[in-house]
Amino acid sequence: MNQRFSFYVEQHRKLIADAIKLAGKPGKLNLYLEIGAARGESLAAAMEIMAETGCDWAVLAADIPGGWEYNADALRQNIGKQLGILAGTPELLMVESGKASVCISEGGGKDVIAWMKAQGLFAALVFIDGCHEQECAKSDFEAVEPVTLAGSVVMFHDSGECDEGGLQPHLHKGCGVRSALHSLDLLPCTRMGWMLLTDTPKTQAGMTIFRRVE
């Protein structure tokens, strides 16, 4: 196993690869959106996999100023070659094949989504890995849903049963990603238009993946 990145990224490399292969469509520019860019480790792993698939991908990612794992130097080191723009304002974002455009702004992922809507862009694949408190994970999905289409895939990180309650620096309410999935009717998956692809409830730093079907 390639161990270039954190254990939490490496343990899900295969799931991420499967999601990329499922979401990417040949002959078009596919868009990957990551909420919680941090040090760029999951971004780098995803971009490595994208480069191997033969599909064309562009990447948009977000973090917040003073974000608890955000590190511009580490991010540049991890995705330097593919980093098109490290932008402080969403207006500077760009979508370019093989490039990542990372926005560090107060509104984080919501700013990037607002920009995508203004440009008429939709994400083929989304990784929700920002604040893991229940309300934040829930509102991230609610913001993401309108920029997905049938066939889009959405991945949640730290969604295992044992992740619940883990430290979160935002409002110190504890990790509640799994609770968010329940409150969104994604677990069990009865939410209109969505199907569950993968769930790792017993895994620490678990992963839960959904596909939009209509």
Number of H helices, E strands in the chain: 7, 8
List residues near ligand SAM by CB under 6 A: 9, 35-36, 38-39, 41-42, 62-64, 67-70, 108-109, 129-131
4 token code pair:
């270039």
Residues 36 and 43: their CA atoms lie apart, in Å, by: 10
Q: What's the closest the beta carbon of residue 36 comes to ligand SAM, in angstroms?
A: 3
Residue 166 or 189: the one with the smaller Cβ distance to ligand SAM is: 166
Residues 108 and 48: their CA atoms lie apart, in Å, by: 24
Q: What's the closest the beta carbon of residue 94 comes to ligand SAM, in angstroms?
A: 18
Q: What's the closest the beta carbon of residue 1 comes to ligand SAM, in angstroms?
A: 16
Residue 30 or 42: the one with the smaller Cβ distance to ligand SAM is: 42
Give the Cα-Cα-Cα angle 188, 191, 196 (nearest 5 degrees).
Answer: 55
| Contact criterion met (CB below 8 Å) for 12 and 206 | no
Residue 25 or 106: the one with the smaller Cβ distance to ligand SAM is: 106
Q: What's the closest the beta carbon of residue 184 comes to ligand SAM, in angstroms?
A: 17
Residue 90 or 108: the one with the smaller Cβ distance to ligand SAM is: 108
| Contact criterion met (CB below 8 Å) for 124 and 24 | yes
